[in-house]
Every structure is written in structure tokens, then in C-alpha cells.
Amino acid sequence: MGLSHSPTADRQRLDDIVRSVNRLRPLPGSPVRILKELDNPTTSVRKIAELIALDQAITAYLLKVANSAAMGYSRECSSVQDAVIRLGFKQVRSLVYSTMASGPLSARLSGYRLGAQGLWFHSVSVASSAHWLATALRYPEPEKAYIAGLLHDIGKLVLDQYVLADYNKIMQIIHTENQPMWKVEHHLFGVDHAEVGGFAGEHWQFPQELIAAIRYHHSPEQDQPNQQLAALVNLANALAPSDSDEDLFLVGKVITPATYEILNLNPEKTPKLAERLKASLTNYQSRFEIT
Ligand SMILES: [Fe+2]
Ligand SMILES: [Fe+2]
């Protein structure tokens, strides 16, 4: 049976969830300034490098990535400006998002049964998979897929406490109705973690395209600006390599039928694609390894 919005969904709890989103702390200052400057069409490498240099964590991470063996350069890159030139604005943008999100996404989520860094590893795996799949399927902006993959489950940070409170009930519905987690969330709370992630993205003033990719990562067929981006995240979420003890229902590893259509992908060819993804990712992931 399909789960619809539950008439018993508690209106007060829904209000409470929305209020929790509005109470989310602002993201730390300098990444937001750097991201804004990266969107400025008249910006310069110098301006970006100056802003990055004000943030110790981003500077350290930028230099580490720019000098990592995976980049394949022999000359060491010691200045921020050199590193920005080497990586290019698009990769710098992914890197800034990663630095910004690594703290919040590393939290332990008891409701979703994710230990410390559990969500972070899932997020990085989906991000890297989305980037790889975007390239393989000729989506023109793989870095956008990376960022959307990285942030897709950010709504779980807010919903976790509600999932924890209703954990037994949720598990019972998941297993008796054979439905993915996000549908059960919607059924019980009137909102699921993808929608809550969309609200969080609005709260943090993410770009519209990114907000939509987060909001529709389990339902890319919805009318929205970039169905392909949401579909890529949907696919990456299902195919991303994961720890074996991950609960498939809890993670919601289901490819939505619309994803095949939107990406013009033959379902019969998907297992092969998943195999290639898995084989490539070990090398590939090192590009964005984060400590
Ligand atoms: Fe999700
Ligand atoms: Fe996910």
C-alpha cells in the first residue's frame, strides 16, 4: 500500500519541526562570504584567495587538496592563490561547502541509528558518486552534483529527534508496509527529511537549484528547476558504496522510477553502471578526502 499523508499527523509537531529549522544556527561567517564572492561574475582569484586566507580551516584543507597526490602535480603549491588557480573556482566551491558541512554532518544521529560521522561518510560517498555519475551520464556540471549529493540528507539533522521519539512505530511501519523511511516520515510527521532539508537550505540561503535538489532527492519528478540534478542525487543515493551494516530501509536506497526517465537511463544497464562506479570510486574519492 502507498502511504499518504496521515490525518493523524500532529499539526503541532509539524509547526515544531518548522520552528526547529528556523532555530538552526547560521552557518559560520567566512564560507558564506566566499560562496557569495564565487557567485560574483566580476570576482578575481586574488579576491577569493584573500577571503579564503581569513579562514584557517578552509586554507588548510585547500592546500591539502591542491597538493594531494591525486591531483598529479609535481610542483608544490604553497600559496592560497596558487591553490585556487590549480583547483579552479568550481572545485573551490565544492571544497568550501565540504568544510562548512563537515561539522554539522558529523553529528551522531540516534534516531537514524547513525554513529558519529555516519551521516558524513554517507554524504561524502553520495557526493562523490553523484559527481562520477554526472560525468558518466554527461551532465554538464558535475561539481553541482557533488555539492547537492553532499548536502542531500541535511534535513536529517533536524528530524533526528522526532524519528528517535517515534522509532519503534517507524520501524514497524517500514517493515509491515515495506516502505522507505522518507515516506514513513511524511506519513507520520506531514513532512520528510528531504523537505526539511529544503527548508534548511532556504534558511541558509543556498542557491535555488541546490535547495530543489535537496528537497526532491527522493521525488525528482516533481515540478522544479533542475530535475536532472535531483535525479542524479536520487541515483547516487541508491548506488553509493556504503558500509555493509547500513540499514537499507533507513537510508532509503531506492531509485525512484522517474529517475530513469529523467536521466535517460536504461534500468537494465544500471547494475553495470553501479559496478563501474564502485570500481572507480576508491581512486576517485581521494580527490576530496577530508580528515
Ligand atoms: Fe534522503
Ligand atoms: Fe541519503
- Cβ-contact 221, 256 below 8 angstroms: yes
pLDDT in tens, 215-225: 999 999 998 88
Q: How far is the CA of 41 from the centre of ligand 1 (A)?
A: 33
Q: What is the pLDDT of residue 10?
A: 75
- CB proximity list for 119: less than 8 A, separation 6 or greater: 105, 106, 107, 109, 112, 153, 156, 157
Angle at the Cα of 226 (from 210 to 5), degrees rounded to 5? 80
User: Does residue 103 contact residue 150 with C-beta atoms inside 8 Å?
Assistant: no
Supply φ then ψ for residue 7, to 5 degrees.
Answer: -65, -20
State yes or no: pLDDT of 291 exceeds 50: no
Number of domains in the chain: 1
Residue 168 lies in a domain: yes
Confidence of residue 120 (pLDDT cuts 50, 70, 90): very high
Whether the pLDDT of residue 71 is over 90: the answer is: no
pLDDT on residue 27 = 75
Q: At 27, phi and psi to the nearest 5? A: -70, 150
Residue 54 inside a domain? The answer is no
Q: Which domain holds residue 202?
A: 11-24+103-288
With respect to residue 174, please indicate whether it lies within any of the assigned structural domains.
yes
All three cell numbers of 247, joined, read: 540499514
The pLDDT score that the predictor gives to residue 161 is 95
User: For position 110, which CATH number holds?
Assistant: 1.10.3210.10
Task: Please report which confidence band the pLDDT of residue 1 belongs to, taking 50, 70 and 90 as the band edges.
Answer: very low
Q: Quote the pLDDT of residue 253.
A: 75
The per-residue pLDDT for 287 is 47
pLDDT of residue 28: 66
**pLDDT for the residue 83:** 95
Asked whether residue 236 carries a pLDDT value surpassing 90, the answer given is yes
* C-alpha 20 – ligand 1 centre gap (Å): 19
Question: What's 121's DSSP letter?
Answer: H
pLDDT at residue 251 tops 90: no
| Residues bordering ligand 1, an ion, CB closer than 5 Å | 153
Say what the alpha-carbon torsion angle 86, 55, 101, 19 is, to the nearest 10 degrees. Answer: -140
Task: Please check whether residue 41 lies inside any domain of the structure.
Answer: no
pLDDT at 78: 87
Q: Tell me whether residue 192 is in a domain.
A: yes
Percent of the chain, pLDDT > 90? Answer: 66
**Structure confidence by residue, pLDDT tens digits, 132-145:** 999 999 999 999 99
**% of the chain exceeding 70 in pLDDT:** 89
Rounded distance between C-alpha atoms, residue 155 and residue 196, angstroms: 5
Ligand closest to Cα of 239 equals 2
Assess whether pLDDT exceeds 90 at residue 47: yes
61 or 31, which is more confident: 61
Mean of pLDDT over the chain: 88
245: in domain: yes
Using pLDDT thresholds of 50, 70 and 90, give the confidence band for residue 194.
Answer: very high
How far is the centre of ligand 1, averaged over its atoms, from the C-alpha of 81 (Å)?
36
Taking the centre of ligand 1 as the mean of its atom positions, its distance from the CA of residue 193, in whole angstroms, is 7
CA separation for the pair 217, 116 (Å, rounded):
23
Whether 165 is in a domain gets the answer yes
Q: Which of 244, 271, 242, 277 is nearest to 255 (CA)?
A: 271
CB 173 within 8 Å of CB 179: yes
Domain membership of residue 238 (yes or no) is: yes
> How much is the pLDDT for 248?
54
